[in-house]
Chains A and B, each alone.
Chain A
Amino acid sequence: MAEAQNIPAGSTTAGAIAVAAESTVATRMSAPPSFDVADFPVPHGREEEWRFTPLARLKGLHDGTAVADGTMKAQIDAPEGVTVESVERGDERIGKAGTPVDRVAAQAFSSFAKATVITVPKETVLGEPIRVALHGEGGTTFGHTVFDVKPFAEAIIVIDHTGDGVRAANVDILVGDGAKVTFVSVQDWDDTAVHTSQHNALVGRDASFKSVVVTFGGDLVRLHPRVTYAGPGGEAEMLGVYFTDAGQHQEHRLLVTHDAPHCKSNVVYKGALQGQDAHAVWIGDVLIEKSAEGTDTYEMNRNLVLTDGARVDSVPNLEIETGEIVGAGHASATGRFDDEQLFYLQARGIPADEARRLVVRGFFAELVQQIGVDDIEERLISKIEAELQGSV
């Protein structure tokens, strides 16, 4: 039997607000955020932020034994007007968007050799996406990338991960005032890869930020997409799609910190799972601080379990420190594609493999359409089809 843990949908609106006495988002971490790996104890696996993660499969990223011995082939395609620099760790743009929140992110920060800074100048509207293709050729690598999108610029950024290796990284996305950024991270690794990454977005005044996380591959993928606001009026949309196969561990830990007034956030993650020991973890934290009056936020996670033997842990969490908000809600549900659904569709002449495709396509369709980057949408659909081919 699949263990489909199901947290019932809950919601909080202006009418009924739970005020957190203290920030559990902060207190349940084993150490405060830090750039120094030495500030984090080596996790033993029972800590709140590590309890779902199979530490033994992290290849030493968590306990200091991982050394930078690998090769990551990087190809950066930047449209005209965009600058790409390789900088030393002292560069003031590094780490401005956020601070590592766990030991592997701090390890990545402490271990990278040089950082890449990609800048979109003020008021520049890019016609083509900035594409960063990272292809792992084995071994362990650490990375740090900063996307600095200046005020009123518009950009689509795609980071594409393929190949094999152990990768720990931090990605900073500085979204200038009034800027508009779509940031896509595709995890299309070989099934042996290990990948941890913290995405820090700092959303400027009246800026809009869309994060799209697509995870298919890897033996273990653990990502922290995070958003904070640098001023009022910012909007963040965080979309995620994952397809977790037998033996894979795919973990997405999101945090939106509403620390500025009149900002919006909308989080939608959907995942399908199939095969023995497929494990997906989704942690969705939204924190509305006292200063964040007029906040409007919603987060949702949906999972579709296609076979026995798969497991989902989905934990939405909303903390509210002010009552002066527009709306706040969350929902999480895990459903099974069960024998009765299959029977119903088959009883209408639809063969079993097509029935499964119909259901999975339907499950993802609406979310895929919201991505807004054509080649990513197409690749995603064909990837989903390929995953389903393998399942029948």
Chain B
Amino acid sequence: MATLEIHDLHVSVEAENGAREILKGVDLTVKQGETHAIMGPNGSGKSTLAYSLAGHPKYTITSGTVTLDGEDVLEMSVDERARAGVFLAMQYPVEVPGVSVSNFLRTSATAIRGEAPKLRTWVKEVKSAMEQLQMDPAFAERNVNEGFSGGEKKRHEILQLELLKPKIAILDETDSGLDVDALRQVSEGVNRVRATGEVGTLLITHYTRILRYIKPDFVHVFSEGRIAESGGAELADKLEAEGYESYSTKGGATA
């Protein structure tokens, strides 16, 4: 069973006046089949965790370890991590002019699977995944994320999740900017992948709204660059009622 283990992870970014530490010792274990929600106020370091796990060059790991089934993830390049089974659905997916969605998906699937998918089954696979996400087939011929609406970008991210079948899926604020219908369709996509039991999900969100559609096994409250409290799904209800105030610096909960 695939397991992602994060131990005492410290991460910095270069700021104008030197390096600034954003993650200050994160410990978390995500196993295949589990869903962990990471919740927290803006600026608490949730997205930094997501991008650090995927290997974004902006973030420097200063100490700690991340392993996937014992393999050192931090030693891997960005594409090696993806091929090892780590997937990041981005909050702000990047436009890639000149590259069509269909070309992109096939190139990506070829890289992840280690061989080009058979054309006939591939076309069917993409078509049915797009239908389930209520995506227009014409979408495949557009350039990656170019001129996509917020909802289209998120559907496109989840389409990739469904096609690439990672071991660990990190969903960075996938719910942000979605209307109720889009949120439901995107959540259904995530749930289809979860239902296979083959993915460990790290669901990063600011709001509890998406948790009505995607039920987490564990909820972690992120504050000041580390996990301040962990619990079951009931912790989300508490956050819904009380907000993040008790975790803020002023509240002293993380001190």
Contacts and interface: CB of A to CB of B under 8 A. Distances in A.
Interface stretch (B107-115, B187-195, B197-205): B107-115
Q: Which of B87, B98, B99, B160 has the most CB of A within 10 A?
A: B98
Given A340-B94, A355-B79, A361-B98, 15 more contacts: A343-B94, A344-B90, A347-B78, A347-B82, A349-B82, A349-B108, A350-B108, A351-B79, A351-B111, A354-B111, A358-B103, A359-B96, A362-B99, A363-B98, A364-B98
Interface string A345-380: 111111110110011111111000000000000000
A349 B93 CA distance: 15
A343 B107 contact: no
A363 B97 CA distance: 7
B168 interface: no
Contacts of B56: 343
Contacts of A358: 99, 103-104, 107
A contact residues, range: 20 to 34
Interface of A: 304, 335, 339-341, 343-352, 354-355, 358-365
Contact of B96 (A345, A351, A365): A345
Contacts of B94: 340-341, 343-344
B57 interface: yes
A344 B160 CA distance: 12
B100 A362 contact: yes
B98 A359 contact: yes
B54 interface: yes
B111 A348 contact: yes
Contact of B98 (A346, A351, A365): A365
Interface in B64-115: 77-79, 81-83, 87-88, 90, 93-100, 103-104, 107-108, 111-112
B171 interface: no
B164 interface: yes
Contacts of A343: 54, 56-57, 78, 94
Given A341-B94, A347-B88, A349-B108, A362 B103 contact: yes
Contacts of A340: 94
Interface of B: 54-57, 77-79, 81-83, 87-88, 90, 93-100, 103-104, 107-108, 111-112, 143-144, 160, 164
Nearest to B56: A343
A343 B111 CA distance: 15
A341 B96 contact: yes
Contacts of B79: 346-352, 355
Question: Could you say which of A341, A345, A349 has the most chain B C-beta atoms within 10 Å of its C-beta?
Answer: A349
B49 to A, nearest CB: 15
Nearest to A363: B98
Contacts of A346: 55, 77-79, 82
Contacts of B81: 347
A351, A352, A363 interface centre (most CB from chain B within 10 Å): A351
A304 B98 CA distance: 11
Contacts of A348: 79, 82, 104, 108, 111-112, 160, 164
B186 to A, nearest CB: 18
A363 B78 CA distance: 24
Nearest to B99: A362
Contacts of A341: 94-96
A391 to B, nearest CB: 17
Contacts of A349: 79, 82-83, 108, 111-112, 164
Contacts of A360: 98
Contacts of A355: 79
Given A344-B90, A344-B94, A350 B99 contact: no
B15 to A, nearest CB: 18
B185 to A, nearest CB: 21
B96 A344 contact: yes
A359 B99 contact: yes
A355 B96 CA distance: 10
A241 B3 CA distance: 49
A381 to B, nearest CB: 14
A358 B94 CA distance: 15
Contacts of B111: 348-351, 354
Contacts of B93: 344
6 contacts: A345-B96, A345-B108, A347-B88, A348-B104, A361-B98, A364-B98
B159 to A, nearest CB: 12
A349 B82 CA distance: 5
Contacts of B57: 339, 343
A340 B98 CA distance: 15
A349 B112 CA distance: 6
